[in-house]
Amino acid sequence: MLIIENNGQEITESNFWGSEQERAGAFYLSINAGAFRLLLPQQHETILAELETAKEVIITRGPWPDAGQTNAMEILFDDGSDSPFSIHLGANQVDRWPLPEDAGRMFMFSVWVLRNNKPHCASHGDCYYRTAPRLPWLKSRDK
């Protein structure tokens, strides 16, 4: 069982890094205090530069039939290109779900890595949350 200790939007401790899930390269999305926090496996830290190119982060919730998921999340790092970077997460990679009335709202978004055996916020900004009839959705907000 993954444990995440919080101080508001900040992650103060977590056993994610070093867990079986992290060693397998699986991302994890935690939601707390009005913030989406993406926990990044150490083997994927090279994508941080790619994530930084995003003009907007869009998180979409919906069913992902191709992966057999009735409830999943897509994180789109919209950089304005025809092929923006995205991450798709199954239900076992999300600790809780936003409320239906949260769709259409802005939230804080941060990316967390491990530094000196402690969670460290590597990147943060705003994100837009929405729902879609199916994933992958891969559409910017203006489409």
- Map tokens 């009839």 to a residue: 133
Q: Looking at the predicted structure, is the pLDDT value of residue 8 above 80?
A: yes
Is residue 18 a part of any domain in this protein?
yes
Is residue 139 a part of any domain in this protein?
no
pLDDT of the residue at 143 = 62
Other C-beta atoms closer than 10 Å to the C-beta of 52 total 13
Per-residue pLDDT tens over the stretch 17-74:
999 999 999 999 999 999 999 999 999 999 999 999 999 999 999 999 999 999 999 9
Q: What is the pTM of this model?
A: 0.96
Q: How many domains does the chain have?
A: 1
Tell me the residue range of the domain where 45 lies: 4-131
Q: Give the span between the Cα atoms of 138 and 143, in whole angstroms.
A: 10
Nearest CA among 140, 122, 117 for reference residue 130: 140
What letter does residue 103 receive in the DSSP assignment? T
- Determine phi and psi for 101, rounding to 5 degrees: -75, -5
Is residue 98 a part of any domain in this protein?
yes
Is residue 138 a part of any domain in this protein?
no
Is residue 89 a part of any domain in this protein?
yes
8 Å CB contact between 40 and 120: no
- Give the pLDDT band of residue 142 (cuts 50, 70, 90): confident
